[in-house]
Structure 1
């Protein structure tokens, strides 16, 4: 039987994993002033940083290698990097400028997007009117449709992963749970995602296809309209029972178009779900989106319904204070000595990357 992991031979140790061609070893933590914590995740933090060479601001995602290796997540981290490299050409996906590593840490240098998480705005406003929800849902659908065109399933769509830029356009971020190589007729089966947004087929641990992303879009749209995800309960088992077995609750007072879209996206049978037949095209053509000119949307010619009114690239007013109150760890800005322990560094061969436009490197 062929080895199922092309990154590793059956007899290789973790330190011999080859994760792609290496590139640009010159970037280092001391190139930056790290100013504030702006996000946190399982493997590290996201920081606002200013590049000393040109005073430009970036979001730098700093990941601890030892935590990644302990949880055996290096393959997912490299998948995130690969998706970031492929997503540079879409207006609603966060851009990777370059990545580099030290013996202890991995660094993603990303666009700094400071209009705030959709989650942050939803917490503050509870819910949105339909035109605003439609605008965000359309930009997110455009981004998901693009990923699907590259045979990538996103798998973790939720308000925390949807950012607004300084003008109010959507920027999808955090590709750590993406799955590459999922063609239109194929499935995958890894159990992953966020409880409130899991599709029924994932909960049932059945093979699933790219329509899991359309279920998640439905869940996010539902939350934008009704203030909570569908079937939400503090009791997780009760919530899962609702996702698996109960009819979709649609409180009165909303348009028939949005209710129709929600019923189509939150269809428990993935083969009958909206998007199962023609993927993004089927979403675009739904009556709820009839006010949207998709070409204008893609080219950002539609004025966003909400402007974050940020005061400049260092403005953190829309970043959750839970993050910004934290002290920036001193270790993230230090470049370790070359003879520092390197036991884990070979597991991330090929992580470093620089795009052509960043010529200062």
Structure 2
């Protein structure tokens, strides 16, 4: 099979490309240049999309012995990921840029270009598995599982995807990289948002959207407890950074319950007010059986799962949680899983649009 290996410059994508070559596939490596101005992106090993990453990817391809190219996708990345990130925060939602990058860049723009060039599939270093049935499953390394950010992929995209690392732990991948002589064997994982050079998300959004002061309001009394510099600096469930001028009457900590961009209002309340019993999602991708279905749902990256009853609706998904979840933000994804003997299967996903309080759901 003729495959294109997306090589980020990290250890996972390098080992994935090496395994694909060792399996007898005709492999070509490609690194995605995503920064319009590389100097504004991270340098060093803390993030991804850096100049160092490009050089690391090239060296890994040389060791593996495969052709290597760099594709400039900065404009697509800026429009589909960076601009989307800013627009979502401006609308009072909390996006996941890695999820959007997988959806719009790695498995849309890249896959489309690969197919046009005659490749059969795209290989990536994601920690996830594809079963013989074509269904996406969790990685055996649950701590590194990335099925949540891949659950936006359609069936036709999954048919042209290869995830060679799903049966290995991260420790095994690093050990294999060392044996193969790949210099990235001990390279740290990336954790931060790659296009925010200093790691200051709020500062980045301030520069993009500007200061826009507004009230911080108590949900129960309607009393103005303080002022913020921009509603985009907050997310549901946040406690730090509220800087309330007046404490609540009961003296208890307050958390962000909701963000209303139209009135530029941040509403706060006690922790238990964050508990939700029903989650609504739009833009569904569904691979599973007819609904309603009893399953588990994950509501944030690397978050816990909750038993739920999931139903398809005319325009999305609704999950009735069997126990409350706390601090669920619109803009994240709801991903439904079903457990079987081969591991958790991704049934489908949707983008969270709204939640209902646990008491109301009960």
Fold equivalence (TM over 0.5): no
TM-score category (smaller protein): under 0.3
- Give the structure with the higher percent helix: 1
**Structure with the greater relative contact order (CA < 8 A, sep ≥ 6): 1 or 2?**
1
Structure with higher strand content: 2
